[in-house]
Amino acid sequence: MPDMGVSALSVLAVSGGVAIPAVAPPPLSVDMLVVFGIIALALVLFVWEPVPIDVTAIGVMVALIVLEPWTGVDLAQGLSGFSSSATIAVLGMFVLSEGIRRTGLISVIGREIADRYGNSSFKQLVAVLGLSGGTAGFINNTPVVAVMIPMVSELSDRTGVSPSKLLMPISFAAMMGGMLTLVGTSTNLLASDIYDSMGAEYEAFSMFEFTTLGVIVLIVGCVYLLTVGVRLTPERVLVSEELTEDFEMAEYLTEVVVEEDSQFIGQTVDECLRAVDVDADIVQFIRNKQAFTEPLAHKEIRSGDVLVLRTDRESLVSLIETQGLGLAPDADVAVDDETLAVEGEEREEVESQQLAEVVITPDSSLIGETFETLNFRQRYNATVLAIRRGGQMIHARMDERHLRGGDTLLVQASADTFQQFANDRNFVVAGEFYVPEYRRSKLPIALGIVALVVGLAGAGLAPIAVSALGGVVAMVATGCLRPSEMYDAVDWNVIFLLAGLIPLGIAMEATGGAAFLAGHVVGIAGGLDLLLLLGVLYLLTAVLTNVVSNNASVVLMIPVAVDIAVAVGANPFAFALAVTFAASTAFMTPVGYQTNLMVYGPGGYRFTDFMRVGGPLQLLLTVVTVLGINAIWGVA
């Protein structure tokens, strides 16, 4: 890797106090074109996402190694992402965050907030922003937001405030809180590793190096969310006792009676559904005033049974005409939550049933699957009545829909099933405050381990990767985590994404691609004040991170930012820091950051809502971050 201190752009002449490049950027070469082509293809795949982005990243790594004569990335360099200190540290922090989650810290604080501030909408917003932003600097923000989603449901029920008013601000605060420390996000650790690898004169970021700026950004951002943001945030989900109303189920739930000549008689629920080619589910059936729900597959249908169907009007008409069904006497009355919530007291085989919202987490192993391939009803003994994908309601052909991160399912199941969902990292139970089975007695130990990890790295006594791995061992040894939970805690998508993209930064430097881009940016922005140039770089990174991975943005932009700084005689650290902060401010789209995706469904947001609330915040933090960097470290 070339030393940036002697790159072609580092030879400067000074005139009138303004640094001007004395050497033109390197000419475009075949090697650069190959690397740029790989980058362009990767960006298209990141946005289009025909395959998961971590798979695309591994493909980038393979392409760079195979095309070594042009990319300059040999086998050892191509695989270096797996041994990178950033990758190892991120892996360790995932496990440490899971240790904190399993001991129930966020749940304890959340309950305290609900008890103390549950009756004041303003106080509860202040409290949840403080909790989300404050904790995200030390543990992964994804589990923080996951625990807070059901807490918001409880707060909304108490105050009558729409959960939409709280969920987006919580996600934004979690992103800003991630900039409090080096371990706040994987992006910070990756940025530090890339900056450190660019030459002997560039050192990795320390644990609390940018904490002062992070505090300023968090405070300014929270003030915006409490004043301007709260007015711009829409109420997409209305506070209602009826989940069936929230999910617009009135036209899709109907009661029918099985007549004496029905084709369904003598068949099991599973058999009669497979025999008809219509989009319908039997959600419940009632026999002799006794209601039955999941598991229904092997229950035999008899004459006189009343079935609660989830189907559309066209399919309903087809079933009535061909299968010997008739509308139940009270079928003109909407099927509501009370009808679907069954009390299981009269027979042991009937469990109490209820409705709740269940969110598919962004790193769920279920993403890309369908209810049919998952055999969802039999696997979980649960019925999905509808899917909310952002502001879109999905009722038809749900078995054929490929699940996405952030999908919110309206589920009918027993309390035990919902408890299983709450304990499963693939789901967040949003509609009810189901509490996972925490190990509260281990909470002080888990907090002590995280504090020791952060303290050792912050004091320079151990590299962050070493202290994080030591913390992993301590979490398992003390019983805060079980060994199997340690592996489940890691978001392997992020690990492979980091490992696959790190060689791309090497190729950008080795081929001179970073210097080429930097030179042309300087040429286009020539004459701009350094603060304005820094602001432009911040905005470019922010826009990029809203459409592709924040880690990909850092890999692409830090080498360019450092070369720009060298070209104009500015402070490279200041420019690298602007990219790092910008990459963690994906406020303008729901797909720019995992926590945005997590609240997208439960909040019922539209895609444009993030631009409406996040756009002004993005511009505000551009000014605050640039001025803060200049005040603390200096741009020149």
The DSSP H or E segment spanning 524 is helix 513-524
Superfamily of chain region 251-333: Regulator of K+ conductance, C-terminal domain (3.30.70.1450)
Q: Where are the domains of the chain?
A: 1-240+436-636, 251-333, 353-429
Q: What is residue 149's predicted lDDT score, i.e. its pLDDT? A: 85
How is residue 228 annotated by DSSP?
Answer: I
257 by DSSP, 3-state: which? strand
| Phi, psi values for residue 330, rounded to 5° | -105, 25
Mean pLDDT by runs of 10 across the 636 residues of the chain is 39 38 71 94 87 90 95 93 92 91 80 73 87 89 82 77 90 94 92 89 92 97 96 84 71 82 84 76 78 73 85 80 76 56 49 79 86 85 84 81 88 84 84 68 93 92 94 95 88 90 91 88 78 92 88 92 90 96 91 87 89 95 96 93
pLDDT tens by residue, 79-109: 999 999 999 999 999 999 889 888 888 777 7
Token pair in block for residue 139:
């543990």
Taking the chain, what is the end-to-end CA distance rounded to the nearest angstrom? Answer: 25
Give the CA distances from residue 502 to residues 13, 61, 84, 563, in Å, rounded to whole numbers and listed in that order. Answer: 33, 8, 8, 18
Distance CA(342)–CA(308), nearest Å, equals 13
The whole-model pTM stands at: 0.82
Superfamily of chain region 353-429: Regulator of K+ conductance, C-terminal domain (3.30.70.1450)
> What's the distance, CA 331 to chain centroid?
41
590 by DSSP, 3-state: which? coil
Letter string b/e over residues 287-320, b meaning 16 or more CB atoms within 10 A of that residue's CB: eeeebbbbbbeebebeeebbbbbbbbeebbebbe
Q: What is residue 80's predicted lDDT score, i.e. its pLDDT? A: 93
Token pair in block for residue 579:
């990219």
The residue type at 92: G
Give CA torsion, residues 259, 265, 269, 273, to 10 deg: -80
Q: Which residue has the tokens 């005139």?
A: 15
Q: What is residue 3's predicted lDDT score, i.e. its pLDDT? A: 42
Q: Is the dihedral of CA 404, 410, 413, 418 positive or negative?
A: positive
Letter string b/e over residues 551-587, b meaning 16 or more CB atoms within 10 A of that residue's CB: bbbbbbbbbbbbbbbbbbbbbbbbbbbbbbbbbbbbb
Give CA torsion, residues 524, 525, 527, 533, to 10 deg: -170
pLDDT tens by residue, 414-470: 888 888 888 888 898 876 555 567 888 999 999 999 999 999 999 989 999 999 999
Q: Around Cβ 280, how many Cβ atoms within 10 Å? A: 22
Contact criterion met (CB below 8 Å) for 324 and 338:
no
Domain 251-333 shares a fold with domain 353-429: yes
In DSSP terms, 253 is beta-bridged to: 310
Token pair in block for residue 511:
């081929």
Token pair in block for residue 408:
């919110």
Q: List all residues 6 or more positions away from 544 whose beta carbon is below 8 Å from its beta carbon.
A: 553, 556, 557
Q: What is residue 390's predicted lDDT score, i.e. its pLDDT? A: 77
Q: Around Cβ 540, how many Cβ atoms within 10 Å? A: 18
